[in-house]
Structure 1
Amino acid sequence: MTVKPARARSLSVEDRQSMILDAVTPLLIEHGQGVTTRQIAECAGIAEGTIFRAFDSKDELIRAAMDRQLDPEPFRRDLAALDLSAPLEQRVRAMVTLLRRRFAKIFALMSSVGAMGRPPSHDVAHEFTGLLAQVLAPDLARLAVPPARAAQVIRMIALAASVPHITAGAAFDDDELTALILYGLIGAQAQPNATL
Protein backbone atom coordinates (compact mmCIF):
# COMPACT_ATOMS: atom_id res chain seq x y z
CA MET A 1 0.00 0.00 0.00
CA THR A 2 1.40 3.37 -0.98
CA VAL A 3 1.02 6.31 1.30
CA LYS A 4 0.15 9.61 -0.31
CA PRO A 5 2.41 12.43 0.82
CA ALA A 6 0.70 14.99 2.99
CA ARG A 7 -0.44 18.02 1.09
CA ALA A 8 1.54 21.14 1.86
CA ARG A 9 -0.43 23.50 4.03
CA SER A 10 -1.77 26.46 2.17
CA LEU A 11 -0.19 29.81 2.91
CA SER A 12 -2.05 32.76 4.32
CA VAL A 13 -2.33 35.78 2.04
CA GLU A 14 0.28 37.58 4.18
CA ASP A 15 2.74 34.66 3.97
CA ARG A 16 2.18 34.38 0.22
CA GLN A 17 2.75 38.13 -0.21
CA SER A 18 5.93 37.98 1.88
CA MET A 19 7.29 35.05 -0.16
CA ILE A 20 6.60 36.90 -3.42
CA LEU A 21 8.15 40.13 -2.09
CA ASP A 22 11.30 38.18 -1.12
CA ALA A 23 11.56 36.95 -4.69
CA VAL A 24 10.75 40.20 -6.47
CA THR A 25 13.25 42.58 -4.86
CA PRO A 26 16.42 41.20 -6.55
CA LEU A 27 14.49 40.93 -9.83
CA LEU A 28 13.47 44.59 -9.58
CA ILE A 29 17.09 45.60 -9.03
CA GLU A 30 18.10 43.61 -12.12
CA HIS A 31 15.17 44.34 -14.47
CA GLY A 32 13.39 47.39 -13.05
CA GLN A 33 9.69 47.71 -13.84
CA GLY A 34 10.25 45.57 -16.93
CA VAL A 35 10.35 42.43 -14.77
CA THR A 36 7.65 40.01 -15.88
CA THR A 37 5.21 38.17 -13.67
CA ARG A 38 6.54 34.98 -15.23
CA GLN A 39 10.07 35.81 -13.98
CA ILE A 40 8.68 36.59 -10.54
CA ALA A 41 6.70 33.35 -10.42
CA GLU A 42 9.71 31.27 -11.51
CA CYS A 43 11.93 32.91 -8.91
CA ALA A 44 9.34 32.41 -6.16
CA GLY A 45 8.64 28.82 -7.25
CA ILE A 46 4.93 29.46 -7.72
CA ALA A 47 2.39 29.54 -10.52
CA GLU A 48 2.02 32.92 -12.22
CA GLY A 49 -1.64 33.12 -11.17
CA THR A 50 -0.62 32.93 -7.51
CA ILE A 51 0.86 36.43 -7.82
CA PHE A 52 -2.59 37.80 -8.65
CA ARG A 53 -4.17 36.02 -5.68
CA ALA A 54 -1.75 37.97 -3.47
CA PHE A 55 -1.62 41.30 -5.35
CA ASP A 56 -4.18 42.99 -7.58
CA SER A 57 -1.58 43.96 -10.18
CA LYS A 58 2.12 43.97 -10.94
CA ASP A 59 2.18 47.70 -10.09
CA GLU A 60 0.72 46.97 -6.65
CA LEU A 61 3.39 44.29 -6.14
CA ILE A 62 6.17 46.71 -7.12
CA ARG A 63 4.80 49.40 -4.80
CA ALA A 64 4.61 46.87 -1.97
CA ALA A 65 8.23 45.84 -2.61
CA MET A 66 9.36 49.46 -2.49
CA ASP A 67 7.34 50.15 0.67
CA ARG A 68 8.88 47.09 2.30
CA GLN A 69 12.41 48.33 1.59
CA LEU A 70 11.57 51.85 2.83
CA ASP A 71 9.98 50.51 6.03
CA PRO A 72 12.14 51.78 8.91
CA GLU A 73 11.04 49.09 11.40
CA PRO A 74 13.59 46.37 10.48
CA PHE A 75 16.39 48.94 10.78
CA ARG A 76 15.06 50.02 14.19
CA ARG A 77 15.08 46.40 15.36
CA ASP A 78 18.63 45.85 14.07
CA LEU A 79 19.88 48.95 15.90
CA ALA A 80 18.08 47.96 19.10
CA ALA A 81 19.78 44.55 18.92
CA LEU A 82 23.30 46.02 18.96
CA ASP A 83 25.30 45.15 22.06
CA LEU A 84 25.94 48.43 23.91
CA SER A 85 28.67 46.76 25.95
CA ALA A 86 30.70 45.93 22.82
CA PRO A 87 33.74 48.13 22.13
CA LEU A 88 32.98 51.45 20.44
CA GLU A 89 34.86 50.39 17.30
CA GLN A 90 32.62 47.30 16.89
CA ARG A 91 29.45 49.33 17.42
CA VAL A 92 30.49 51.97 14.88
CA ARG A 93 31.33 49.28 12.34
CA ALA A 94 27.96 47.60 12.95
CA MET A 95 26.18 50.92 12.42
CA VAL A 96 28.11 51.55 9.20
CA THR A 97 27.24 48.05 7.95
CA LEU A 98 23.53 48.38 8.78
CA LEU A 99 23.24 51.83 7.25
CA ARG A 100 25.10 50.92 4.07
CA ARG A 101 23.05 47.75 3.57
CA ARG A 102 19.82 49.77 3.90
CA PHE A 103 20.95 52.68 1.72
CA ALA A 104 22.47 50.45 -0.99
CA LYS A 105 19.30 48.40 -1.42
CA ILE A 106 17.05 51.47 -1.48
CA PHE A 107 19.23 53.26 -4.04
CA ALA A 108 19.58 50.16 -6.20
CA LEU A 109 15.79 49.79 -6.27
CA MET A 110 15.17 53.48 -6.93
CA SER A 111 17.74 53.47 -9.73
CA SER A 112 16.08 50.47 -11.37
CA VAL A 113 12.42 51.13 -10.65
CA GLY A 114 12.24 54.87 -10.09
CA ALA A 115 10.73 56.68 -7.15
CA MET A 116 7.69 54.62 -6.19
CA GLY A 117 6.21 54.25 -2.76
CA ARG A 118 6.43 56.71 0.04
CA PRO A 119 9.60 58.79 0.21
CA PRO A 120 11.65 58.47 3.40
CA SER A 121 10.49 61.20 5.75
CA HIS A 122 12.70 63.78 7.39
CA ASP A 123 11.37 62.59 10.75
CA VAL A 124 12.67 59.07 10.11
CA ALA A 125 16.13 60.48 9.33
CA HIS A 126 16.11 62.39 12.63
CA GLU A 127 14.82 59.33 14.46
CA PHE A 128 17.62 57.18 13.02
CA THR A 129 20.19 59.78 14.06
CA GLY A 130 18.73 59.66 17.58
CA LEU A 131 18.87 55.86 17.65
CA LEU A 132 22.47 55.88 16.43
CA ALA A 133 23.33 58.43 19.12
CA GLN A 134 21.94 56.07 21.78
CA VAL A 135 24.30 53.35 20.53
CA LEU A 136 27.22 55.80 20.90
CA ALA A 137 26.17 57.23 24.28
CA PRO A 138 28.02 54.70 26.47
CA ASP A 139 31.29 56.16 25.13
CA LEU A 140 30.43 59.81 25.64
CA ALA A 141 33.80 60.49 27.31
CA ARG A 142 35.70 59.19 24.25
CA LEU A 143 33.76 61.22 21.69
CA ALA A 144 35.09 64.56 20.50
CA VAL A 145 31.55 65.67 19.64
CA PRO A 146 28.14 64.96 21.20
CA PRO A 147 26.66 61.54 20.30
CA ALA A 148 23.94 63.12 18.14
CA ARG A 149 26.57 64.95 16.05
CA ALA A 150 28.70 61.81 15.75
CA ALA A 151 25.61 59.86 14.69
CA GLN A 152 24.85 62.49 12.04
CA VAL A 153 28.39 62.16 10.64
CA ILE A 154 28.20 58.36 10.60
CA ARG A 155 24.85 58.49 8.79
CA MET A 156 26.10 61.01 6.20
CA ILE A 157 29.29 59.06 5.47
CA ALA A 158 27.42 55.75 5.20
CA LEU A 159 24.88 57.37 2.89
CA ALA A 160 27.52 58.91 0.62
CA ALA A 161 29.48 55.65 0.50
CA SER A 162 26.34 53.78 -0.58
CA VAL A 163 25.66 55.87 -3.68
CA PRO A 164 27.85 54.80 -6.62
CA HIS A 165 27.54 58.21 -8.30
CA ILE A 166 29.10 59.89 -5.28
CA THR A 167 31.89 57.42 -4.54
CA ALA A 168 33.37 57.62 -8.06
CA GLY A 169 36.57 55.61 -7.82
CA ALA A 170 37.52 52.64 -5.68
CA ALA A 171 34.73 51.42 -3.43
CA PHE A 172 35.00 51.77 0.34
CA ASP A 173 34.50 48.80 2.62
CA ASP A 174 32.98 48.99 6.09
CA ASP A 175 36.34 48.64 7.87
CA GLU A 176 37.87 51.54 5.95
CA LEU A 177 34.84 53.76 6.58
CA THR A 178 34.83 52.86 10.27
CA ALA A 179 38.52 53.77 10.59
CA LEU A 180 37.95 57.07 8.80
CA ILE A 181 35.00 57.90 11.04
CA LEU A 182 36.86 57.02 14.23
CA TYR A 183 40.36 58.26 13.44
CA GLY A 184 39.98 60.73 10.58
CA LEU A 185 42.43 61.24 7.76
CA ILE A 186 45.50 62.00 9.86
CA GLY A 187 44.83 59.76 12.85
CA ALA A 188 44.84 62.43 15.55
CA GLN A 189 43.99 66.07 15.95
CA ALA A 190 47.04 68.36 15.89
CA GLN A 191 47.72 70.27 19.11
CA PRO A 192 47.24 74.06 18.74
CA ASN A 193 50.81 74.87 19.89
CA ALA A 194 52.54 71.98 18.12
CA THR A 195 55.69 72.90 16.23
CA LEU A 196 56.01 71.76 12.65
Structure 2
Amino acid sequence: MSAKPARARSLSIEDRQAMILDAVTPLLIEHGQTVTTRQIAQCAGIAEGTIFRAFDSKDDLLRAAMDRQLDPEPFRLELAALDRELPLEERVRAVVTLLRRRFAQVFALMTAVGSMGRPHTHDIAHAFTVLLADVLAPDLLRLTVAPERAAQVIRMIALAASVPHITAGPGFDDDELTALILYGILGSTAPSNATR
Protein backbone atom coordinates (compact mmCIF):
# COMPACT_ATOMS: atom_id res chain seq x y z
CA MET A 1 0.00 0.00 0.00
CA SER A 2 1.52 3.29 -1.05
CA ALA A 3 1.61 6.22 1.36
CA LYS A 4 -0.39 9.30 0.55
CA PRO A 5 1.73 12.29 -0.37
CA ALA A 6 2.17 14.72 2.48
CA ARG A 7 -0.25 17.60 2.39
CA ALA A 8 1.33 20.97 1.80
CA ARG A 9 1.60 23.05 4.95
CA SER A 10 -1.03 25.77 4.96
CA LEU A 11 0.29 29.29 4.94
CA SER A 12 -0.23 31.67 7.81
CA ILE A 13 -2.38 34.70 7.06
CA GLU A 14 0.76 36.89 7.03
CA ASP A 15 2.55 34.58 4.55
CA ARG A 16 -0.56 34.44 2.35
CA GLN A 17 -0.85 38.23 2.41
CA ALA A 18 2.86 38.65 1.58
CA MET A 19 2.57 36.23 -1.37
CA ILE A 20 -0.42 38.11 -2.75
CA LEU A 21 1.24 41.51 -2.22
CA ASP A 22 4.35 40.28 -4.08
CA ALA A 23 2.14 39.39 -7.04
CA VAL A 24 0.01 42.52 -7.08
CA THR A 25 2.67 45.24 -7.37
CA PRO A 26 3.69 44.64 -11.02
CA LEU A 27 0.01 44.26 -11.92
CA LEU A 28 -0.77 47.59 -10.27
CA ILE A 29 1.93 49.26 -12.33
CA GLU A 30 0.52 47.71 -15.52
CA HIS A 31 -3.23 48.04 -14.88
CA GLY A 32 -3.67 50.53 -12.05
CA GLN A 33 -6.82 50.20 -9.98
CA THR A 34 -8.56 48.34 -12.82
CA VAL A 35 -6.53 45.20 -12.03
CA THR A 36 -8.91 42.34 -11.31
CA THR A 37 -8.80 39.85 -8.48
CA ARG A 38 -8.73 37.13 -11.15
CA GLN A 39 -5.50 38.62 -12.60
CA ILE A 40 -4.02 38.86 -9.11
CA ALA A 41 -4.94 35.27 -8.29
CA GLN A 42 -3.48 33.98 -11.56
CA CYS A 43 -0.25 35.88 -10.99
CA ALA A 44 0.01 34.60 -7.40
CA GLY A 45 -0.87 31.04 -8.43
CA ILE A 46 -3.84 30.85 -6.06
CA ALA A 47 -7.60 30.55 -6.22
CA GLU A 48 -9.41 33.87 -6.44
CA GLY A 49 -11.25 33.15 -3.18
CA THR A 50 -7.90 32.95 -1.36
CA ILE A 51 -7.51 36.69 -1.84
CA PHE A 52 -10.62 37.30 0.24
CA ARG A 53 -9.40 35.01 3.00
CA ALA A 54 -6.33 37.24 3.25
CA PHE A 55 -7.93 40.66 2.62
CA ASP A 56 -11.44 41.92 3.32
CA SER A 57 -11.81 43.51 -0.11
CA LYS A 58 -9.95 44.38 -3.26
CA ASP A 59 -9.63 47.97 -1.99
CA ASP A 60 -8.01 46.69 1.22
CA LEU A 61 -5.58 44.64 -0.88
CA LEU A 62 -4.68 47.62 -3.09
CA ARG A 63 -4.27 49.89 -0.07
CA ALA A 64 -2.02 47.30 1.62
CA ALA A 65 0.07 47.00 -1.56
CA MET A 66 0.52 50.77 -1.75
CA ASP A 67 1.33 51.02 1.96
CA ARG A 68 3.93 48.29 1.57
CA GLN A 69 5.59 49.95 -1.42
CA LEU A 70 5.54 53.42 0.14
CA ASP A 71 6.85 52.19 3.51
CA PRO A 72 10.22 53.95 3.87
CA GLU A 73 11.65 51.52 6.42
CA PRO A 74 13.02 48.79 4.07
CA PHE A 75 14.67 51.50 1.97
CA ARG A 76 16.11 53.15 5.07
CA LEU A 77 17.58 49.81 6.15
CA GLU A 78 19.22 49.37 2.73
CA LEU A 79 20.82 52.80 2.98
CA ALA A 80 21.93 52.22 6.56
CA ALA A 81 23.55 48.92 5.54
CA LEU A 82 25.82 50.51 2.91
CA ASP A 83 29.45 49.73 3.68
CA ARG A 84 31.12 52.94 4.90
CA GLU A 85 34.50 51.37 4.06
CA LEU A 86 33.80 51.40 0.32
CA PRO A 87 35.52 54.13 -1.69
CA LEU A 88 33.44 57.31 -1.91
CA GLU A 89 32.76 56.78 -5.62
CA GLU A 90 31.29 53.31 -4.97
CA ARG A 91 29.21 54.55 -2.05
CA VAL A 92 27.76 57.41 -4.10
CA ARG A 93 26.96 55.05 -6.97
CA ALA A 94 25.24 52.64 -4.55
CA VAL A 95 23.19 55.52 -3.14
CA VAL A 96 22.24 56.70 -6.64
CA THR A 97 21.18 53.17 -7.60
CA LEU A 98 19.05 52.71 -4.47
CA LEU A 99 17.44 56.13 -4.79
CA ARG A 100 16.61 55.73 -8.47
CA ARG A 101 15.10 52.29 -7.92
CA ARG A 102 12.99 53.66 -5.06
CA PHE A 103 11.85 56.77 -6.95
CA ALA A 104 11.06 54.81 -10.13
CA GLN A 105 8.93 52.29 -8.23
CA VAL A 106 7.03 54.94 -6.29
CA PHE A 107 6.39 57.08 -9.37
CA ALA A 108 5.26 54.10 -11.43
CA LEU A 109 2.78 53.13 -8.72
CA MET A 110 1.55 56.66 -8.12
CA THR A 111 1.07 57.19 -11.85
CA ALA A 112 -0.84 53.93 -12.26
CA VAL A 113 -2.87 53.96 -9.06
CA GLY A 114 -2.85 57.44 -7.58
CA SER A 115 -2.50 58.19 -3.90
CA MET A 116 -3.96 55.39 -1.78
CA GLY A 117 -1.34 55.09 0.95
CA ARG A 118 -1.49 56.60 4.41
CA PRO A 119 0.21 59.98 4.76
CA HIS A 120 3.56 59.78 6.53
CA THR A 121 3.77 61.38 9.93
CA HIS A 122 7.39 62.55 9.80
CA ASP A 123 9.70 64.35 7.42
CA ILE A 124 11.00 61.44 5.38
CA ALA A 125 13.06 63.64 3.04
CA HIS A 126 14.90 65.12 6.01
CA ALA A 127 15.41 61.68 7.60
CA PHE A 128 16.91 60.32 4.38
CA THR A 129 19.10 63.40 3.92
CA VAL A 130 20.55 62.82 7.39
CA LEU A 131 21.11 59.13 6.60
CA LEU A 132 22.74 59.93 3.25
CA ALA A 133 24.97 62.48 4.96
CA ASP A 134 26.11 59.74 7.32
CA VAL A 135 27.01 57.57 4.31
CA LEU A 136 29.17 60.44 2.98
CA ALA A 137 30.67 61.51 6.32
CA PRO A 138 33.81 59.29 6.17
CA ASP A 139 35.01 61.48 3.29
CA LEU A 140 34.18 64.80 4.89
CA LEU A 141 37.60 66.27 4.02
CA ARG A 142 37.13 65.47 0.30
CA LEU A 143 33.74 67.16 0.05
CA THR A 144 33.43 70.78 -1.06
CA VAL A 145 30.08 71.11 0.73
CA ALA A 146 28.67 69.79 4.00
CA PRO A 147 27.55 66.12 3.86
CA GLU A 148 23.92 67.21 4.39
CA ARG A 149 24.13 69.53 1.37
CA ALA A 150 25.79 66.82 -0.74
CA ALA A 151 23.05 64.39 0.30
CA GLN A 152 20.41 66.92 -0.75
CA VAL A 153 22.05 67.29 -4.19
CA ILE A 154 22.26 63.51 -4.65
CA ARG A 155 18.56 63.12 -3.78
CA MET A 156 17.53 65.91 -6.18
CA ILE A 157 19.57 64.55 -9.09
CA ALA A 158 18.45 60.96 -8.52
CA LEU A 159 14.84 62.12 -8.28
CA ALA A 160 14.99 64.18 -11.47
CA ALA A 161 16.72 61.36 -13.36
CA SER A 162 14.00 58.91 -12.26
CA VAL A 163 11.12 60.82 -13.86
CA PRO A 164 11.16 60.33 -17.65
CA HIS A 165 9.27 63.51 -18.56
CA ILE A 166 11.77 65.60 -16.57
CA THR A 167 14.86 64.22 -18.31
CA ALA A 168 13.29 65.06 -21.72
CA GLY A 169 15.94 63.29 -23.75
CA PRO A 170 18.26 60.32 -23.48
CA GLY A 171 18.20 58.71 -20.06
CA PHE A 172 21.08 58.69 -17.60
CA ASP A 173 22.65 55.58 -16.19
CA ASP A 174 23.91 55.31 -12.63
CA ASP A 175 27.57 55.65 -13.63
CA GLU A 176 26.94 58.88 -15.54
CA LEU A 177 24.90 60.36 -12.69
CA THR A 178 27.56 59.39 -10.16
CA ALA A 179 30.26 61.08 -12.24
CA LEU A 180 28.12 64.22 -12.62
CA ILE A 181 27.45 64.33 -8.88
CA LEU A 182 31.09 63.85 -7.96
CA TYR A 183 32.83 65.85 -10.70
CA GLY A 184 30.18 68.09 -12.24
CA ILE A 185 30.19 69.09 -15.87
CA LEU A 186 33.68 70.63 -15.68
CA GLY A 187 35.31 67.49 -14.34
CA SER A 188 36.86 69.30 -11.38
CA THR A 189 36.15 72.06 -8.90
CA ALA A 190 36.28 75.49 -10.55
CA PRO A 191 38.97 77.81 -9.17
CA SER A 192 37.61 80.20 -6.52
CA ASN A 193 38.72 83.23 -8.58
CA ALA A 194 37.00 82.02 -11.76
CA THR A 195 35.41 84.84 -13.80
CA ARG A 196 31.64 84.71 -13.86
The alignment's TM-score, normalised by the length of structure 2, stands at: 0.96
| 1:70–1:120 CA contact under 8 A, matched in 2 | no
Letter in 1 for 2:188: A
User: Can you give the 5+ residue segments of structure 1 that lack an aligned partner in the other structure?
Assistant: none
Query: Which residue pairs with 1:31 in the alignment?
Result: 31
Query: Which residue pairs with 2:143 in the alignment?
Result: 143
Secondary structure of 2:123 counterpart: helix
Query: Which residue pairs with 1:77 in the alignment?
Result: 77
Matched, 1:51 2:51: yes
User: Can you give the 5+ residue segments of structure 2 that lack an aligned partner in the other structure?
Assistant: none
Matched, 1:172 2:186: no
Count, aligned residues: 195
How much does 1:58 deviate? 0.7
Letter in 2 for 1:94: A
How much does 1:8 deviate? 1.0
Matched, 1:117 2:129: no
How much does 1:80 deviate? 1.5
Letter in 1 for 2:167: T
**Counterparts of 1:101 and 1:188, CA distance in 2:** 28
Residues 108 and 116 from structure 1, CA distance in 2 versus in 1: closer, same or farther, beyond 3 angstroms? same
How much does 1:158 deviate? 0.6
Letter in 2 for 1:96: V
**Counterparts of 2:110 and 2:117, CA distance in 1:** 10
**Counterparts of 1:153 and 1:11, CA distance in 2:** 45
| 1:37–1:51 CA contact under 8 A, matched in 2 | yes
CA RMSD in angstroms comes to: 1.3
Residues 155 and 193 from structure 1, CA distance in 2 versus in 1: closer, same or farther, beyond 3 angstroms? closer
- Over the matched positions of the two proteins, sequence identity in percent amounts to 81
Residues 4 and 136 from structure 1, CA distance in 2 versus in 1: closer, same or farther, beyond 3 angstroms? same
**Counterparts of 1:93 and 1:151, CA distance in 2:** 12
How much does 1:189 deviate? 2.2
| 1:41–1:48 CA contact under 8 A, matched in 2 | yes
| Alpha-carbon displacement from aligned partner over 1:67-107 (angstroms, at most 9, x marks no partner) | 00110110111011110000000000000011111110000
Secondary structure of 1:179 counterpart: helix
Residues 75 and 13 from structure 1, CA distance in 2 versus in 1: closer, same or farther, beyond 3 angstroms? same
Q: After TM superposition, which residue ranges in structure 1, 4 or more long, deviate above 6 angstroms?
A: none
Letter in 1 for 2:86: A
**Counterparts of 1:102 and 1:129, CA distance in 2:** 15
Secondary structure of 1:22 counterpart: helix
**Counterparts of 1:72 and 1:176, CA distance in 2:** 26
Matched, 1:11 2:11: yes
Letter in 2 for 1:24: V
| 1:67–1:117 CA contact under 8 A, matched in 2 | yes
Letter in 2 for 1:110: M
